[in-house]
Amino acid sequence: MTASVVEYDAAPGESALDAPAGVKIPTLRYLGRRAIPQIIDGVVIPVSLFLLALKYWGIVPAIIAGLGWEAIAMTRRVRSGDGVPGFMIVGAAMLVTRSALALATGSTFVYFAQPILGAALVAIAFLLSVIIGRPLARRFAGDYCDIPAHVDADSRVHSFMIRCSIMWAVVGFLNTGITIWLLLSQSTSTYVMIKTPLSVFVTVGTIAISVVWFRRTMHRSGLMHVPVAA
């Protein structure tokens, strides 16, 4: 039995998972609409505040500025009734921890090394998931695609998830290596200005590749039929 698959571009305010039943693969345009506000809110504004505070007042006010914006962002979500996602809570907890350690030790290396360690651990997790045969890519795919059980159980889909997890592991290790080199060789402001857009580009690019690769895999395996748009 083949699965009916919809390449779905949700309307504003509508989730991609509100599409008709089937394997719902969101379009890159839909993912972009979701990503841009998050990049502005979670990257552009806090990094701008960090660099501004670093330039005029030093590293301690810069760290405090980062903490302040995180508190504002979380408070705004709570007051708007949107709720605070689990990943945002974890991110805030990690930010508070590394900020406290950096302020206590007076070391900017401690402040920037913790996210690098986190990225390396994520890459290791992807690799270990491949070794044990439970690819992490499948878990993340569930956040964007509603995959029926009979499609998920197909060996070709499992093979794709394995290969995709290997790709994420390789990208994670490469990104970690480049980030370490930047941290050890560049000034703090230069490191932040290069590392931030680099991380965004790598993450967004890898997600886009994963989505396109998955769609093509489904097509070539004969597991999906995409209705022709009117």
- Calculate the CA dihedral of residues 7, 31, 119, 142 and round it to 10 degrees: -40
For every residue of 84-104, DSSP letters joined together read --HHHHHHHHHHHHHHHHHHH
Find all residues with CB under 8 Å of 192, minimum gap 6, and list them: 47, 50, 51, 54
Take residue 157 and report the two structure tokens written for it. 């889909």
Q: How far apart are CA 102 and CA 91, in angstroms?
A: 16
Which residues, including other chains, have CB under 8 Å from residue 109's CB and lie 6 or more apart?
183
Amino acid present at 105: T
User: Which among 139, 144, 138, 131 is positioned nearest to 161, based on CA atoms?
Assistant: 138
Give me the residue spans of the domains in the chain. Answer: 3-225
Per 3-state DSSP, the chain is made up of helix, strand and coil in percentages (nearest 5) of: 75, 5, 20
pLDDT per residue, tens digit, the chain (230 aa), is 444 444 444 444 444 434 334 456 667 777 777 777 777 777 788 888 888 988 888 888 998 998 888 888 888 878 887 666 655 676 777 788 888 888 888 788 888 888 888 889 889 999 999 999 999 888 877 666 667 777 777 888 889 999 999 999 999 999 999 999 999 999 888 998 898 889 889 988 998 898 888 888 887 777 654 443 33
pLDDT digits (tens, 9 = 90+) for 55-88: 888 888 998 998 888 888 888 878 887 666 655 6
* Assessment of whether the complete model's pTM goes beyond 0.75: no
Could you tell me the two tokens for 85? 């996602």
